[in-house]
């Protein structure tokens, strides 16, 4: 695509990078086939090609972004399905990140919208504040059908039960059980620690049983939540904290990997190198990106010792951030199959469940429609449980289905000697 940036604009790294991506776009529209919002709305500007054009027009213009441009760009899930079919390898994620930051800086949203986004940025990345908000929301849950759209969306996602405050919120080193083969850091995360402590506990157990010393530097956000809202100052500050903490470990006793068990966060941590490309921490950020691994990648490198053979039909929901953001498509399914589960995929395996970071909270109507579509195809498999690799998608699917939803690592921990995931308590006799 022909671009028309001024030399002053191109002197800025963000514009220079976007110029490369925009120039690579052939406007061929191959990306439209997998785009959930284009499938739902059928509008060119709700397709990746249309959005690429809108981004170009918006970034080139000296005017503030137009309302309609923001509306169409806001509707993008950043699911990255479009990147999987692009013949020109346009890095849509980086383009969209720049567009969101540009909107955040140059566009004035209506007051209610600003307030919601401010609140999400101030609450979600902080486990203590998030727990408090979830407590309040649980009381409001029975009244959610009477609430206006956005509030209803927020309250509907609240889990019925919150775990007690865990002990993983401070620096600690958990030794390998048996001979130490690897030393790994685990990102315990922010929102995840507030709503579900089982995932981190299962991750730590399975890693320690398989020769890993697990280092937790602190409980904190990776920066993804604010990054997706274009709040770059906040997201960079959170990322910087992680980079410094993990580099201190690398420069001390060393690290073989930085493990992330929330695929949305993993996509961002793997992108730290790009995010900090013009920053004094560029080399450190690149090092961290190089060491970042999804938990399924690490488990596939270890020889898992299976102890039980569960007779369960598992519907595997491939999260967008894992299959498109990190290009990890089959690894979790292979691990589950090797463990003895019957693993099935829904027919729309490429489709987003509608969670997408903060999307379910800022675009609840579209998010609900996408969830209904996803839950329907998952339930058509008639599974005993649904396995997912991202806490947000777990919450989203749980809010629309009675089928137990578990993290893949909880199932793998169970079959290698850990406890049965609590969510499966209702499934009855499941192992033999
Ligand atoms: S598939 Fe790639 S090159 Fe074609 S329109 Fe989409 S982003 Fe542009
Ligand atoms: S990221 Fe997802 S929703 Fe956004 S344009 Fe690409 S396919 Fe469509």
Q: Is residue 140 over pLDDT 70? A: no
pLDDT, mean of residues 252-268: 96
How high is the pLDDT of residue 125? 85
How high is the pLDDT of residue 157? 67
Residues 23-33 have pLDDT tens digits of: 999 999 999 98
Q: Is residue 146 over pLDDT 70? A: no
How high is the pLDDT of residue 129? 85
Residues 320-352 have pLDDT tens digits of: 999 999 999 999 999 999 999 999 999 999 999
The binding-site residues of ligand 2, defined as CB within 6 angstroms of any ligand atom, are: 34-37, 48, 51, 76-82, 92
Nearest to 196 by CA among 222, 152, 160, 230: 160
Asked whether the beta carbons of 322 and 266 are under 8 A apart, the reply is yes
Ligand 2 nearest-atom number relative to CA 34 = 7
Q: With a 6 A CB cut-off, is 28 part of the ligand 1 pocket?
A: yes
Name the pLDDT band for 361 (thresholds 50, 70, 90).
Answer: confident
Q: Is residue 432 over pLDDT 70? A: no
Ligand nearest to the CA of 88: 1
Give me the residue label for tokens 């956000």. Answer: 221
Q: With a 6 A CB cut-off, is 31 part of the ligand 1 pocket?
A: yes
Q: With a 6 A CB cut-off, is 48 part of the ligand 1 pocket?
A: yes
Q: Is residue 51 over pLDDT 90? A: yes
For ligand 2, the distance from its centroid to the CA atom of residue 21, given in whole angstroms, is: 16
Name the pLDDT band for 149 (thresholds 50, 70, 90).
Answer: low
How high is the pLDDT of residue 150? 64
For ligand 1, the distance from its centroid to the CA atom of residue 50, given in whole angstroms, is: 10
Query: In the chain, what percentage of residues exceed pLDDT 90?
Result: 78
Name the pLDDT band for 154 (thresholds 50, 70, 90).
Answer: low
Distance CA 359, CA 64 (A): 23
For ligand 1, the distance from its centroid to the CA atom of residue 293, given in whole angstroms, is: 28
Domains annotated on the chain, with CATH: 7-106 (1.10.1060.10), 111-156 (no CATH), 172-299 (3.40.50), 305-426 (3.40.50.1860)
Ligand nearest to the CA of 53: 1
Ligand 2 nearest-atom number relative to CA 38 = 8
Asked whether the beta carbons of 176 and 183 are under 8 A apart, the reply is no
Residues 365-411 have pLDDT tens digits of: 999 999 999 999 999 999 999 999 999 999 999 999 999 999 999 99
- Indicate which residue's Cα is closest to atom 8 of ligand 1: 25
Angle, helix 391-398 to helix 364-380, in steps of 10 degrees: 80
Residues 169-227 have pLDDT tens digits of: 778 999 999 999 999 999 998 878 778 889 999 999 999 999 999 999 976 899 999 99
Q: Is residue 263 over pLDDT 80? A: yes
How high is the pLDDT of residue 307? 87
């Amino acid at each position: 695509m022909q671009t028309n940036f001024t030399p002053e604009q191109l002197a800025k790294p963000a514009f220079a990078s976007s110029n490369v991506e925009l120039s690579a776009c052939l406007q061929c529209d191959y990306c439209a086939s997998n785009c959930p919002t284009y499938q739902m709305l059928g509008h060119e500007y709700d397709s990746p090609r249309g959005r690429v054009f809108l981004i170009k027009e918006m970034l080139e213009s000296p005017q503030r972004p137009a309302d309609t441009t923001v509306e169409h760009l806001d509707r993008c899930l950043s699911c990255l399905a479009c990147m999987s079919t692009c013949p020109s390898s346009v890095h849509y994620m980086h383009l969209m990140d720049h567009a969101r930051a540009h909107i955040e800086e140059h566009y004035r949203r209506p007051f209610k919208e600003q307030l919601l986004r401010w609140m999400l940025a101030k609450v979600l990345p902080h486990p203590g504040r998030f727990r408090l908000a979830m407590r309040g929301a649980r009381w409001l849950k029975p009244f959610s059908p009477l609430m206006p759209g956005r509030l209803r969306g927020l309250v509907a996602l609240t889990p019925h039960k919150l775990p007690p405050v865990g002990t993983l919120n401070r620096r600690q080193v958990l030794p390998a059980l048996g001979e130490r083969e690897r030393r790994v850091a685990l990102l315990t995360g922010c929102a995840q620690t507030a709503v579900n402590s089982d995932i981190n506990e299962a991750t730590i157990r399975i890693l320690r049983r398989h020769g890993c010393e697990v280092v937790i530097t602190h409980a904190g956000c990776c920066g993804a939540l604010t990054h997706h809202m274009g709040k770059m100052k906040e997201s960079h500050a959170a990322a910087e904290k992680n980079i410094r903490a993990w580099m201190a470990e690398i420069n001390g006793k060393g690290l073989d990997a930085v493990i992330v068990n929330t695929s949305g966060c993993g996509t961002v941590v793997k992108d730290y190198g790009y995010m900090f490309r013009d920053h004094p921490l560029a080399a450190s950020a690149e090092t961290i990106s190089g060491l970042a691994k999804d938990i399924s990648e690490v488990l596939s490198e270890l020889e898992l010792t299976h102890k039980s053979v569960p007779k369960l039909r598992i519907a595997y929901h491939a999260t967008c951030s894992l299959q498109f953001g990190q290009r990890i498509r089959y690894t979790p399914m292979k691990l589950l199959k090797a463990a003895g589960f019957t693993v099935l995929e829904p027919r729309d395996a490429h489709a987003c469940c509608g969670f997408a970071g903060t999307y379910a909270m800022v675009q609840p109507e579209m998010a609900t429609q996408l969830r209904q579509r996803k839950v329907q195809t998952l339930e058509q498999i008639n599974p005993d449980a649904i396995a997912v690799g991202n806490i947000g998608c777990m919450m989203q699917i749980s809010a629309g289905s009675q089928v137990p939803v578990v993290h893949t690592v909880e199932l793998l921990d169970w079959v290698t000697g850990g406890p049965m995931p609590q969510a499966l308590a209702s499934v009855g006799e499941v192992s033999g």
